Amino acid sequence: MKHSLILVLVTSITVSLTGCSYNFGSSGTKAAEASEETDEAQAAQATGKAATPSNTPEYVFRYGEVNGEDNIVTQTGHKFAEYVDELSNGRIKIEIYPNHALGDERTSLRDLRRGGRNIDMYRGNTNALTGYGFKKLTLFGLPYIFENREGLWKVLEDKELGQAFLSEGTEVGANMVGLFYTDEGARNIFSTKKIRNLKDIKGMKIRVPESVLMMDTFSALQARPIPLPYGEVYDALKNGVIEGGENPVTGYLSNELYEVAPYYLISEHVFSPGIVLMSEAKWNELSEEDKSILIEAGRMASAWNRSTIQQEEARIYEELKQKGVTVTSLSPEDMEKARKLEEIVRISFTPGLEDYLNRIIDIQK
């Protein structure tokens, strides 16, 4: 029986990582996938319970996160750890290190690429992967590539796009394996001074992640992008080194950036998902059974994240208003102008990837 379950899991994970045809318009396909996902969960849990219980985990993996404990992506990491513990019957433990305790994004991604000396897993953003050999995954960080949250998840859950892209790190020599995606919301602009439109951000010193893609995104909007580690943003705003930054509203609140930059402009310039990456060297140490447990736990954590994020955003906006934050939205005219200004960025980052780009756009229609 155990050998049969393992075969089912190996087959399931192989399909997930290599991709297959998928038709969103077929209700029969959706029903079959729902049944398949239920079987995967039951099988993963069964193989975990079949293991010999032990008070000492067989594996302990360190999971890095730049946000604080109250951020939804950090909470998603804890959900992942909980599901892994449950499915492995305690054999595999995931330790969550929030508040960039294991290093900032650049440090963490470099460490993963070198084999995971100080960190085993990291929840990064797809807009920060341009310097590590990734191509297809960086498409998700392009400005205005997703129409809305529904479009984002259609792409992420498609087996020939989002699910197939999870394995890109092993294909390009980045030495990282993608486990699952997270949604922390669209990225917007915050500032120490009142901002209402594109004219107000022209020439502004705006902090961006240490990513060429994000620097180009704000250069296209005629702002002055300043790349800084995430942990330095608060003090840089306070000391006038920068005049603003950009972040999903979830991170804006959890990192208390509203204290020094109380103006928040909803621009939705990027809706890039997070991705949980694991050192390929550590991944290769695992049995197929344990790999399947991590993948299934990731799927469950991602589903929890998706079911929670919209309500969390609504709560946060209400809290920010109570704290005196001025929240403004770009006008439809400015939003359209911003899309046109960013066209040069989309073109410059997609040579050879035009087919994928068109599929990402088409699947959202």
Question: Cα–Cα distances in Å, from 24 out to 38, 40, 359?
Answer: 19, 21, 13
Same-domain pairing of 65 and 166: yes
- Per-residue pLDDT, 51: 43
* Tokens representing residue 108 in the block: 């963490």
Dihedral sign, Cα of residue 296, residue 23, residue 138, residue 312: negative
- Per-residue pLDDT, 53: 52
* Tokens representing residue 146 in the block: 């997703």
Same-domain pairing of 97 and 130: yes
Summarised one tens digit per residue, pLDDT across range 229-267 is 999 999 999 999 999 999 999 999 999 999 999 999 999
Same-domain pairing of 204 and 219: yes
Same-domain pairing of 135 and 262: no
CA distance 105 to 340: 30
pLDDT band of residue 55 (cuts 50, 70, 90) is confident
Which residues does 199 contact at the CB level (< 8 Å), separation at least 6? none
Same-domain pairing of 265 and 294: no
- Per-residue pLDDT, 233: 97
Residue 31, pLDDT > 90, answer: no
Same-domain pairing of 165 and 236: no
Summarised one tens digit per residue, pLDDT across range 188-225 is 999 999 999 999 999 999 999 999 999 999 999 999 99
DSSP per position, 272-302 = PPEEEEEEHHHHHTS-HHHHHHHHHHHHHHH
- Per-residue pLDDT, 10: 32
- Per-residue pLDDT, 267: 97
Task: Give the type of residue at 117.
Answer: R
- How would you class 334 by CB atoms within 10 Å of its CB: exposed for 0-12, middle for 13-18, buried for 19 or more? middle
Q: Which of 315, 325, 319 is nearest to 258 (CA)?
A: 325
CB atoms within 10 A of CB 365: 7
Cα 241 → chain centroid:
28
* Pick from 23-37, 148-162, 197-211, 308-322: least confident: 23-37
CB atoms within 10 A of CB 70: 12
* Residues 120 and 159 sit within 8 Å (Cβ to Cβ): no
Count of structural domains, the chain: 2
pLDDT band of residue 130 (cuts 50, 70, 90) is confident
Same-domain pairing of 106 and 168: yes
Q: Which of 278, 144, 322 is nearest to 220 (CA)?
A: 144
Same-domain pairing of 23 and 163: yes
Summarised one tens digit per residue, pLDDT across range 142-161 is 999 999 999 999 999 999 99
Q: Assign 3-state DSSP to the chain and report helix, strand, coil percentages, each to 5.
A: 50, 15, 30
Same-domain pairing of 173 and 44: yes
Same-domain pairing of 108 and 249: no
CATH of the domain at 21: 3.40.190.170
Task: Report the relative pairing of strands 187-191 and 244-248 from DSSP bridges.
Answer: antiparallel
Residue 49, pLDDT > 90, answer: no
Task: Give the type of residue at 225.
Answer: P
Edge-to-edge strand list for the sheet holding 92-97: 92-97, 59-64, 121-125, 274-279, 176-182
* Residues 351 and 137 sit within 8 Å (Cβ to Cβ): no
% of the chain beyond a pLDDT of 70: 85
Same-domain pairing of 179 and 192: no
CA distance 251 to 285: 34
CB atoms within 10 A of CB 104: 17
Same-domain pairing of 207 and 106: no
Parent domain of 254: 187-271+313-362
